[in-house]
Amino acid sequence: MFITLAAFFAFTLAVFALAYYKTRNANTNTEEGYFLAGRGLTGIIIAASLMLTNLSTEQMIGLNGQGYGFNMSVMGWEVGASLALIIVALYFLPRYLKQGYATVPDFAGDRFDNGTKQLINGLFLLGYVFILFPIILYSGAIGMGGIFNIKEVFGLQSDFAMIAIVVAGIGALGCIYNFFGGLRIMAWADAFNGIGLLIGGLLIPILGLIYIGNGNPFEGLSVLITQHPQKFNAIGSSVDPVPFATMFTGMFLVNLFYWGTNQVIIQRALAAKNLKEGQKGILYAAVLKLFGPLFLILPGIIAFHIFRDNPLKINDMAYPELVKTILHNPCLIGLFAGVLFGAILSSFNAALNSTATLFMLNIYKPYFNKNAKESDMVKKGKVAAIILSVFSMLVAPLIVFAPQGLFQYLQTANGLYNVPIFTIIIVGMLNKKVPSWAAKLSLISFIIVYGITQVLPMTGLDSALPGFLRWFVHLHFLHILAILFILCSAFMLIMGQLYPEHSKFNAHDDRKIVDTKPWDKAILVSGLIAAAVIGLYVLLSPLGIAS
């Protein structure tokens, strides 16, 4: 255990030291310096930060848990994201950078009104504090607690106690990162962690295949394909977590929201030194997402084979149990734990910085201190981040009492704000006539109806509904999101025709904050990525190895 802990702390401290060294002379006492890394990030740093912000234990544990329990259909969250990233790079980012936005709600304020801006801002804050933060901390505690056997080592009597202790440790270190350097130090830490994650993440499936193939990874892969071909089917059925039809409905919308309008993610691209570097970073990330199934789903399938005679009681334990089974070297376990911890910190820090950005720029400054100095904004932002993180640390351990598939729970809960916000943003970009009251009414109605569809089946009250409504509430949540997206969009567009409110906002205006000349290879790279997505789905289908 000593060697494992030593390797873990050595890796973690080395990453922090390198990131701090690279950013030691950066000016983080200004709003742009702290919240947007001085608008100086390059493509590679943006790509690494996007990947590490996205990739945390909710993916490592949650998606592998679904791979263990189901099949490759869940790769829609990863591979499908590549298509969404193409649209973000070519359509969303140019408009954001031309306007010089620091937050997504800023767009809603320009296009509609301040009320719409604050409504979206509030939804982001509530979603992050009550859903995103706790999920990151909880899943991180499950992963780290499982690898280090913290419950047994410290003689704890319950999973709740173990989770609470690890959550406190992750939260405290996250606050330290946030305090010392804001977005810039996190982006550089992500770059260094990304190297470790690339090596460590791919090491697990390779060692797993070697374990199955008695020393030969290709033999191990052959065993899996021969004995469990159904596991390699990415064309999900209606009983799978991601039915294939959802790829063209709610799944696509959720991915567009996540990569194009989610403040935690898009803030990395908003910090680009110019549009060219921003597009490079987003499209590099799209390429990396194509490899996601290798270390986010394949290990779950490997665990399914290894533990087939003694099945795990909880699917989400597949990844931690696999790591302990195939990593015998204590130094390797420590290094891998350090990589995993870096991914956890990256997601937590990203959410923390984005939440502080939303609170300070959109609530504190306009309502509490309009003349606040930039250095004061940064100091207050750090305090706000600490308060929010402490609150989330109190909420996170309570998730242990909600025994659902972790990743599915996360995505279902996120539906309360992700596609509703995306609906307002995309309609606002495409149409200048929709009145602000129609946008706010659509947003509130979307959330209420979606919430009802998710709660009614849990209570049993759905049995009293007429046939059509009963069918509707039992649809896959991604289909429900798509239907509500169409209905709310149609309502806003109709109201725009009947009661037009001509907006003076022009998404094509260039405020000259950064150079907005696009990357000349963006279209070519986008085409290659789209072709690769189609190829992967053909390969992982009954037409390919899933036969």
Per-residue confidence (pLDDT) for residue 33, from 0 to 100? 47
Q: How far apart are the first and last CA of the chain?
A: 44
Each residue's pLDDT tens digit, 24-33: 555 555 445 4
Q: Please, what is the Cα angle at 139 between 264 and 64, to 5 degrees?
A: 100
Instruction: Determine the number of helices (DSSP H) and then strands (DSSP E) in the chain.
Output: 27, 0
What's the mean pLDDT in 222-244? 91
**Length of the chain in residues, anyone?**
547
Q: What is the DSSP letter of 515?
A: B
369: Cα within 13 Å, side-chain hemisphere: 11
In whole angstroms, what is the distance from residue 227 CA to residue 302 CA?
11
Assess contact for 331 and 4: CB atoms under 8 A.
Answer: yes
In whole angstroms, what is the distance from residue 395 CA to residue 138 CA?
9
How many percent of the chain have pLDDT more than 70? 87
* DSSP secondary structure, 249-310, as one string: THHHHHHHHHHHT-HHHHHHHHTBSBHHHHHHHHHHHHHHHTTHHHHHTHHHHHHHHHTTTS
Per-residue confidence (pLDDT) for residue 197, from 0 to 100? 72
Assess contact for 187 and 178: CB atoms under 8 A.
Answer: no
In whole angstroms, what is the distance from residue 213 CA to residue 448 CA?
51
Q: What is the mean pLDDT of the chain?
A: 83
Q: Which amino acid is at 59?
A: Q
Token pair 């999900």: residue = 236
Per-residue confidence (pLDDT) for residue 406, from 0 to 100? 57
For 54-63, 180-189, 195-204, 483-492, which range has the lowest pLDDT when averaged over its residues? 180-189
Each residue's pLDDT tens digit, 50-88: 887 777 667 788 889 889 999 999 999 899 999 999 999
- The dihedral through the CA atoms of 518, 519, 520, 526 has a sign that is negative
E strand map for 442-495: none
Q: Is the pLDDT of residue 410 over 80?
A: no
In whole angstroms, what is the distance from residue 286 CA to residue 289 CA?
5
Q: Is the pLDDT of residue 199 over 60?
A: yes
In whole angstroms, what is the distance from residue 424 CA to residue 434 CA?
10
In whole angstroms, what is the distance from residue 518 CA to residue 145 CA?
45
In whole angstroms, what is the distance from residue 107 CA to residue 73 CA?
35
Rounded to 10°, the helix 477-498/250-260 angle is: 70
Q: Which residues pair with 41 in a beta bridge?
A: 272
* DSSP secondary structure, 139-178, as one string: HHHHHHHHHHTHHHHTT-S-HHHHHHHHHHHHHHHHHHHH
Confidence at 403, pLDDT banded by 50, 70, 90: very low
> Rounded to 5 degrees, what are φ and ψ at 272?
-65, 150
In whole angstroms, what is the distance from residue 327 CA to residue 26 CA?
39
How many percent of the chain have pLDDT more than 90? 30
Per-residue confidence (pLDDT) for residue 171, from 0 to 100? 82
In whole angstroms, what is the distance from residue 344 CA to residue 348 CA?
6
Q: What domains can be seen in the chain, in order of their start residue? A: 2-400+505-539 (1.20.1730.10)
Assess contact for 374 and 137: CB atoms under 8 A.
Answer: no
Question: Residues near 19 by Cβ (< 8 Å), separated by ≥ 6?
Answer: 181, 185, 186, 188, 189, 192
Q: Is the pLDDT of residue 437 over 90?
A: yes
The string over 330-349, giving b where at least 16 C-beta atoms fall within 10 Å of a residue's C-beta and e elsewhere, is: eebbbbbbbbbbbbbbbbbb
Token pair 């969250």: residue = 77
What's the mean pLDDT in 222-235? 93
What's the mean pLDDT in 441-453? 93
For 147-156, 238-247, 310-319, 404-413, which range has the lowest pLDDT when averaged over its residues? 404-413
Each residue's pLDDT tens digit, 261-285: 888 788 878 888 889 999 999 999 9
What's the mean pLDDT in 33-37? 49
Assess contact for 261 and 84: CB atoms under 8 A.
Answer: no
Confidence at 223, pLDDT banded by 50, 70, 90: very high
Q: Is the pLDDT of residue 339 over 80?
A: no
- DSSP helix/strand/coil, 41: strand
What's the mean pLDDT in 417-440? 92
Question: Using CB atoms within 10 A of its CB, is residue 501 exposed (0-12), middle (13-18) or buried (19+)?
Answer: middle
- Is the pLDDT higher at 78 or at 329? 78
Question: Residues near 507 by Cβ (< 8 Å), separated by ≥ 6?
Answer: 95, 98, 99, 429
For 105-119, 212-226, 386-400, which range has the lowest pLDDT when averaged over its residues? 386-400
Question: Residues near 43 by Cβ (< 8 Å), separated by ≥ 6?
Answer: 272, 276, 277, 278, 279, 280, 281, 284
Assess contact for 350 and 357: CB atoms under 8 A.
Answer: no
Q: Which two tokens stand for residue 267?
A: 């803030």
